[in-house]
């Protein structure tokens, strides 16, 4: 087991290194520079700017320098904002994480319970309506769902603020908007996974033993039935936790999402790199966690 963890950790490190290298150079390939603007900047100023950010060095030197700083936890300076990348992430990421947590909880709560319920009541009106709602949830994009929720719950019912940040209430609507599409996928996956297990011989055995229906679902079906859902949860949680540009824009959430887009537009080299590193670490970490969860859920999977 520990050997497996060590192996996986090493392969994650290698993957991250490849991601860093690839994005470092591709970003530089994009036309334009952090300092291109409509007005020409005097050459002396431009040279000073380049020197400040180390962009006057040859590119391989810049890369080595970047890696050295990275190892010390320094992500560099933003070329657009008067802050370091570390500061920007430190301020915006926690907000995105809080929002993501709400979204994850919502997606899990609604998705798993709807999926399990639909599976138990397979081919009934409950099943059909839950799955129809899930289909709608998958189809409606967040830039439609968000404004609808604002209309209903903020402008009409006055339950939640329509946007901004500051209290728990501010997180509800964006959290739901972000989580709904995942909830819908989770519901469908959970239903399919549960149904697959419900049809197995060992569930028939459990029935032949005279066990209660609810006990059978909980004890005999859940563990195996949730495996497809868990597989999906790795990348899903990672993308919910890292937020959504669209949702954060709609609700004016000061999270990390909008920075990503702005950074790309502004060729804010170091900010792009910083956010890419945060995103990919998250994704790799979640997938790693999912692999470990498999072993817990299915005793036939052993990592040695």
Partner 1 sequence: MTPLISVKGLKTYFRTDEGLVKACDNISFDVNPGEILGVVGESGSGKTVASMSILRLIAEPPGYFDGGEIIFEGKNLLKLSMKEMREIRGNKISMIFQDPMTALNPFLKIETQLTEVLVQHKSMSLDKARAKCIEMLKKVGVSLPERRLDMYPHQLSGGLRQRMMIAMALLCRPSLLIADEPTTALDVTIQAQILELIKSINQEFNTSVILISHDLGVVAGMTNRLVVMYAGKIVESGLTEDIFNKPSHPYTKALLNSIPRIDKEQKQLDPIPGLPPSLSSIPTGCPFHPRCAYAVEKCKTTYPETAFITSDHISKCWEVSRL
Given the rule CB under 8 A, which residues bind partner 1? 200-212, 215, 219-220, 223-224, 297-300
Distance of closest approach, residue 298 Cβ to partner 1, in angstroms: 6
Distance of closest approach, residue 233 Cβ to partner 1, in angstroms: 18
Contact 274, 76 (CB under 8 A): yes
Q: Is 89 exposed, middle or buried (0-12, 13-18, 19+ CB in 10 A)?
A: buried
Distance of closest approach, residue 236 Cβ to partner 1, in angstroms: 23
Distance of closest approach, residue 195 Cβ to partner 1, in angstroms: 13
Contact 34, 266 (CB under 8 A): yes
Q: Is 69 exposed, middle or buried (0-12, 13-18, 19+ CB in 10 A)?
A: middle
Closer residue to partner 1 (CB): 65 or 121: 121
Closer residue to partner 1 (CB): 28 or 223: 223
Distance of closest approach, residue 126 Cβ to partner 1, in angstroms: 16
Closer residue to partner 1 (CB): 193 or 243: 193
Distance of closest approach, residue 200 Cβ to partner 1, in angstroms: 7
Distance of closest approach, residue 208 Cβ to partner 1, in angstroms: 5
Closer residue to partner 1 (CB): 169 or 298: 298
Closer residue to partner 1 (CB): 60 or 201: 201
Closer residue to partner 1 (CB): 72 or 214: 214
Count of all residues that appear for the chain in the document: 304
Closer residue to partner 1 (CB): 124 or 139: 124
Going by C-alpha positions, the residue among 93, 92, 49, 86 that lies closest to residue 70 is 86
Distance of closest approach, residue 302 Cβ to partner 1, in angstroms: 10
Contact 164, 144 (CB under 8 A): no
Closer residue to partner 1 (CB): 128 or 168: 128
């Amino acid at each position: 087991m520990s050997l497996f963890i060590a192996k996986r950790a090493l392969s994650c490190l290698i993957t991250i290194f490849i991601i860093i290298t690839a994005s470092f150079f591709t970003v530089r390939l994009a036309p334009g520079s952090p300092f291109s603007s409509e007005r020409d900047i005097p050459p002396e100023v431009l040279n000073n700017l380049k020197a400040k950010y180390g962009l006057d060095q040859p590119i391989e030197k810049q890369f080595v320098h970047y890696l050295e700083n990275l190892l010390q936890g320094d992500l560099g300076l933003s070329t657009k904002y008067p802050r370091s990348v570390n500061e920007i992430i430190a301020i915006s990421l926690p907000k995105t994480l809080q929002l993501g947590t709400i979204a994850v909880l919502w997606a899990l709560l609604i998705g798993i319970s709807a999926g399990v319920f639909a599976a138990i009541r397979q081919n009934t009106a409950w099943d059909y309506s839950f799955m129809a709602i899930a289909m709608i949830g998958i189809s409606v994009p967040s830039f439609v769902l968000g404004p609808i929720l604002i209309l209903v719950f903020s402008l009409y019912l006055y339950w939640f603020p329509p946007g901004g940040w500051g209290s728990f209430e501010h997180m509800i609507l964006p959290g739901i908007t972000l989580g709904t599409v995942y909830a819908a996928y989770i519901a469908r996956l959970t239903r399919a996974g549960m149904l697959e297990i419900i049809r197995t011989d060992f569930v028939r055995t459990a029935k032949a033993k005279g066990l209660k229906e609810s006990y059978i679902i909980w004890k005999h079906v859940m563990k195996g039935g949730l495996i497809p859902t868990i597989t999906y949860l790795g990348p899903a949680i990672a993308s919910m936790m890292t937020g959504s540009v669209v949702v954060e824009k709609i609700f004016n959430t000061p999270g990390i999402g909008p920075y990503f887009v702005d950074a790309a537009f502004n060729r804010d080299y170091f900010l792009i790199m910083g956010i890419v590193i945060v995103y990919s670490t998250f994704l790799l970490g979640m997938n790693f966690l999912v692999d470990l969860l498999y072993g817990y859920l299915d005793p036939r999977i052993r990592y040695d």
